Chains A and B, each alone.
Chain A
Amino acid sequence: MPHTIHIKAFGMVAETIGSDSLEMENPGSSEALKQQLFKQFPGLKSMKFSLALDKKMIQSDTDISQGKEIALLPPFSGG
């Protein structure tokens, strides 16, 4: 499928999504992706997590092109 992106999820985010990876229709940008995820998985709304695009952290709304990998990276506190 040419219009999909790959999602990698970690920690509580993976638990909430129910999987550590999934394919999604490309929403076009990281903000749009977040909104889409919040709609699909409301439990994510109360969580803080960082996003990485092809293994590089992004700090603001960023365009996502087809076939890219987005990682959803929550903080861990345990020790």
Chain B
Amino acid sequence: MDRFERQVILPGFGPEGQARLRSASVLVIGAGGLGCPILLYLAAAGVGKIGIVDGDSVAKSNLNRQVLYGEKDLGKNKAETAARHFQEKYKDIKWEIFPEFITVENAQELISGFDLIIDGTDNFPTRYLVNDACVLQDKPLVFGAIYQHEGQVSVFNLGENACNYRDLYPQMPAASEIPNCSETGVLGVLPGIIGNLMALEAIKVLSVLGKPLKNRVLFFNSLTSQTYEVEIARNSNSQQSIPDTWQAFEAMDYELACEGIKQLTWDEAMRKMNRDVAFVDVREPGEMPPLECTGLMKIPLSTLSAQLDRLEDSEEILFFCQSGIRSQKAAQQLQQAFPDKKIFSIRGGINALKTS
């Protein structure tokens, strides 16, 4: 008797289904609220090879939903911590660990070694990036996302005449249009449910079971327990916005395309620093840790519109905040007031400075 007996005896799944899972490989991008339940169930079901991509480290505020991690894991990389958990638990799965974020530079290499990709990331630029990479490489993509008490799930790019994320959302939204979990809050159960639906879709695709959510998107509302299913159709306009070569893909700036604002790392920002560049902290007074350096301006986002004159004479302006969302809002606000200025937002904010 093996650990898969209860699913192998299922009519329609059987030893064939199990053999398909065993020989399959899945790349889970993002080991956070969605990634944790996805990984738990793919590993329990016996997927042969699982890759985990995540450059983030465990924070205390993750623990209400990222159920693979505990208090002893704070500060540790999520991909490595998750893989270690499973390596102790099961001996029959091959793990590939990528403690990094997916980018236009590494995407092709990351996804090429896997049969199916799962998007458990948490921001629009990455979701479009993963989608386009999967279209270019012709890989099926299980998609899921959450907002407050709601979630959406779909399967993209599966077989003939398949839709992808750009058919569902042809216009790239800005992150600053829609607050993320850290701003709006989330009950841990919701990503648990949506992540499980995503794991289920992955298992259905890999073991050729049932009807995956191809060309359909499922909405779930945890407050009303209602679901809503919508049929998606291919959209020739949105197909055209997908880069058609890897070279074109690597030249894409997904953050700029989504936000209209160029984002910089702290390293890039430091290299730009000189007398003519305004360096602005848009956090509210009292946010920790404080950053003190010469020439730093403090203009809380809530007061920016009243203090635009302070930035009038600067040609280039670098904004930062705690996590990189409010600084994008500030940059967009300022760009509207001064269309000719070069305005940047520092990716990940102070949180990224702490880990870099």
A residues contacting B by CB (< 8 A) are 8, 10-12, 20, 46-48, 50, 52, 55-57, 59, 71, 73-79
Taking CB as reference atom, which chain B residue is nearest A75?
B169
Q: In the complex, are the beta carbons of A55 and B148 less than 8 A apart? A: no
Q: In the complex, are the beta carbons of A50 and B168 less than 8 A apart? A: yes
Interface size on B, residues (CB 8 A): 46
Q: In the complex, are the beta carbons of A77 and B147 less than 8 A apart? A: yes
If A48-B173, A73-B230 are given as contacts, then 14 extra A-B residue pairs at C-beta distance below 8 Å, sorted by A number, are A10-B150, A11-B147, A12-B147, A50-B168, A52-B230, A57-B167, A75-B145, A75-B168, A76-B178, A77-B122, A78-B33, A78-B186, A79-B34, A79-B191
Taking CB as reference atom, which chain B residue is nearest A47?
B177
B residues contacting A by CB (< 8 A) are 30, 32-35, 119-124, 127, 144-148, 150-152, 167-173, 175, 177-178, 180-181, 186, 191, 217, 219, 221, 224, 228-233, 235, 237
Known: A20-B221, A48-B169, A57-B168. A77 touches B230 (CB 8 A): no
A35 to B231, CA, bound (A): 24
Q: In the complex, are the beta carbons of A59 and B122 less than 8 A apart? A: no
Known: A8-B228, A48-B171, A55-B230. A76 touches B147 (CB 8 A): yes
Closest 6 CB pairs of A and B: A76-B147, A76-B145, A79-B122, A78-B146, A79-B34, A52-B230
A50 to B35, CA, bound (A): 26
Chain B at the A interface: mostly helix, strand, loop or mixed?
A: mixed
Q: In the complex, are the beta carbons of A12 and B178 less than 8 A apart? A: yes
* Chain A proximity of B21: nearest CB distance (Å): 24
Number of A-B contacts (CB under 8 A): 98
Q: In the complex, are the beta carbons of A50 and B169 less than 8 A apart? A: yes
Taking CB as reference atom, which chain B residue is nearest A58?
B233
Q: B33 — which chain A residues lie within 8 A by C-beta?
A: 78-79
* Chain A proximity of B52: nearest CB distance (Å): 14
Known: A12-B178, A77-B147. A59 touches B235 (CB 8 A): yes
Q: A78 — which chain B residues lie within 8 A by C-beta?
A: 33, 122, 145-147, 180-181, 186, 191
Q: In the complex, are the beta carbons of B232 and A57 less than 8 A apart? A: yes
Q: List 12 A-B contacts (CB under 8 A).
A: A11-B150, A11-B178, A56-B233, A57-B167, A59-B233, A73-B217, A75-B173, A76-B151, A78-B146, A78-B147, A78-B181, A79-B30
